[in-house]
Amino acid sequence: IVRPFNEIPGLWKNSVGNLYNFWKQDGFKNLHRIMVHNFNTFGPIYREKIGYYESVNIIKPEDAAILFKAEGHYPKRLNVEPWTAYRDYRNRKYGVLLKSGEDWRSNRVILNKEVISPKIQENFVPLLEEVGQDFVVRVHKKINRSGQNKWTTDLSQELFKYALESVSSVLYGERLGLMLDYIDPEVQHFIDCITLMFKTTSPMLYIPPELLRKLGSKVWRDHVEAWDGIFNQADRCIQKIYKELRVLASLLLLDKLSIEDIKASVTELMAGGVDTTSITLLWTLYELARHPNLQEELRAEVVKARETSQGNMQEMLKHIPLVKGALKETLRLHPVAVSLQRYVAEDIIIQNYHIPAGTLVQLGLYAMGRDPKVFLRPEQYLPTRWLRTETQYFRSLGFGFGPRQCLGRRIAETEMQIFLIHMLENFKVEKQRHIEAKSVFELILVPDQPIILTLKPL
Ligand code: HEM
Ligand code: 2DC
C-alpha cells in the first residue's frame, strides 16, 4: 500500500525553528553536508521546510529516474529568488535560466541550436583549442620567469580567465586577451562580480530578498552591485560585437529572438560560464596531483590520442575516454550543483510514498555521489569506473538532465577536455602538503581553501 505524503519522515512542521537550527549549523555554508546528514538520519527520502522553501529530498538513481519522467513539458527548477528579485528590481528581462513555460521553451529551442547541438560543437573546437594553446604559452612564461623551472600558485584566478576567454570566444567570436600580461580592469571586475554574485545569493535563499531590500541590508546591496557589474560588462561585449559572425550574430541575423531576450540569455551564458568550469578544472588538477600514477595514465592516453588523430582536435576528442571519465569523477565528488530540483508535473510514487503534483523534489547530487550504496568505494577517485565497469544509470548527472539540463554543457565539456589535453601534454602537476580541500556552499560548491599546485615542464 502506498503511504500518504504526510508520513514522509523529516522536519517540516516548524519552518521557523528549522531555519534557526539551519542557521546555527552554519547551513548557509554546509548545505551539502546537512543533506548527507539528513539522508543518514531519515533514509533515502525526507521532507523538509526551511523558511519559505518546502521540498522532498531523494538520493537514489532509480528515484531520480522517476522524478525526471514526471518533469513535464516545461521543466521547472527551484526558483532562485535573489536572481529574479534583481531582474524585477532593475526591470531587466529574464533569460533562459529564469524563464518558465512556453516563453522558456521557445527561447531554449533556438539557443540549443546555437550552443548545445552536436553539429555546432565542431565550430567551437578550433576556438577553444586556440585558448588552450595560449594558456600553455602563458604557463611556460610564468615558469621561465620564476627562475626555478616550476610555477607554484593558486590557479583559480588563472582558470577564471581561461574560462571567460573560452566562453567569450565561443559567444562573440572575439578574444578578450585574458591570456596576456596586461588585462583590462573592467574584465577583472566582471570576474569578481560573478564570484560576489554567487556568494551573496546563498544567504538570501531562505529569507525573502524583498524583505532584505526593504531593510537596506548589505547582502542585498552587494548582490545588486554584483549583477549590475555583470550586466554592464555583458552589454559592452554585446554592443561591440553586433557585426561579428558567431552565436550572437546568427541569433541576430536570423531575427529569431528579440534583442532584449538575446541580451538576457547571453549575459546568463557569460556569467554561468566562468566559475563552473574553472572550479571543476581546479578540482581535477587537484585530484591528478594527488594521484600521480593516474596522471601518467591519462597522459599516456592523450599522447596516444594525438598520434592516432594526427593532431586533429575534433578527432582527438573521440579517443580520450579516461580524460572524460576523470571529469565525470570530479563532478561526482565535487559537483558544482549541490542538488537538482524539479516541481513535479504529475503525482508520483517514490520510496512508496505518494507525492502530489506541484511538489518541489530535490535530488541530492552531492550526497548521491558519496553514497556507498550508489558507488563502490565512493571515497576513491577512480575515472575507470565510468568505462562501463559499473552501471551508469542516472548516475552521471553533474549537468542536470533532460530538456532543462545545462545549456552550456557542450561548451563546458569541450573546453575542459581541451584544457586537460594541453596541460597533460605539457606539464606535470604536483601538490605540496597533505592538505585535504573540502567543499563549501556558496550557491555553487567551491573549495574551502586555496588549492596550491606546482606545474613543472615535462
Ligand atoms: C544550468 C551545471 C557550465 C550555463 C545548469 C544546471 C546544472 C549545471 C546542474 C541545472 C540543470 C538542471 O536543472 O537539470 C553546470 C556544470 C558546469 C556548467 C557542472 C561546468 C562544469 C556552464 C557553462 C555555461 C552554463 C559553461 C554557459 C556557457 C547554464 C545555463 C543554465 C545552466 C544558462 C540554465 C539552463 C535552463 O534553465 O534552461 N548548469 N554548468 N553552465 N547552465 Fe550550467
Ligand atoms: C543551489 O538550494 C542550491 O549552473 C539551491 O551556470 C538549489 C539550486 C537551484 C538552481 C541551481 C543552484 C542550486 C546552483 C547553481 C546552478 C543553479 C541552476 C544554474 C546554476 C546549478 C543547486 C549554474 C551555476 C548556472 C548559473 C548561471 C547564472 C549565474 C547566470
Q: What is the DSSP string of 88-132?
A: HHHT----TTT--HHHHHHHHHHHHHHHTSHHHHHHHHHHHHHHH
> Which ligand has the nearest atom to the CA of 112?
1
Residue 206 confidence (pLDDT): 81
Q: Ligand 2 centre and the CA of 337: distance in Å? A: 6
Q: Is any atom of ligand 1 closer than 6 Å to the C-beta of 275? A: no
CA atoms within 13 A on the CB side of 260: 5
Q: Ligand 2 centre and the CA of 181: distance in Å? A: 32
Residue 249 confidence (pLDDT): 66
Residue 118 confidence (pLDDT): 82
439-442 and 45-50 strand pairing: unpaired
Residue 243 confidence (pLDDT): 55
CA atoms within 13 A on the CB side of 39: 22
Which residue has the CA at smallest separation from atom 23 of ligand 2?
A: 272
Q: What angle do CA 307, 312, 315 make, to 5 degrees?
A: 90
Name 427's Cβ contacts closer than 8 Å, sequence gap at least 6: 139, 455, 456, 457, 458
Centroid of chain to Cα 287: 18
**Are 361 and 96 a contacting pair, CB within 8 Å?**
no
Measured from CB, residues less than 6 Å from any atom of ligand 2 are 77-78, 80, 97, 205, 268, 271-272, 276, 336-339, 341, 406, 443-444
Q: Ligand 2 centre and the CA of 303: distance in Å? A: 36
Atom of ligand 1 nearest to the CA of 279: 21
Q: Is 193 annotated as a binding residue?
A: no
From 128, 60, 93, 121, select the one nearest 365 (Cα to Cα): 60
* CB-based burial label for 149 (10 Å; 0-12, 13-18, 19+): exposed
Joined together, the cell numbers standing for residue 444 give 555553487
Q: Is any atom of ligand 1 closer than 6 Å to the C-beta of 400? A: yes
Atom of ligand 2 nearest to the CA of 95: 30
CB burial of 403-440 (b: ≥16 within 10 Å; e: otherwise) equals ebbbbbebbbbbbbbbbbbbbbebbbbbbeeeeebebb
Q: Ligand 1 centre and the CA of 404: distance in Å? A: 9
Q: Ligand 2 centre and the CA of 208: distance in Å? A: 18
ipTM, 2 dp: 0.99
Residue 242 confidence (pLDDT): 62
Rg (CA), the chain: 22
360-364 and 339-343 strand pairing: antiparallel
Atom of ligand 1 nearest to the CA of 170: 28
Residue 246 confidence (pLDDT): 58
**What is the SS3 assignment for 152?**
strand
Instruction: Enter the pTM of the model.
Output: 0.96
Q: How many residues does the chain have?
A: 458
Which residue has the CA at smallest separation from atom 2 of ligand 2?
A: 339
From 287, 439, 441, select the one nearest 449 (Cα to Cα): 439
> Which residue numbers in the chain have pLDDT < 50?
none
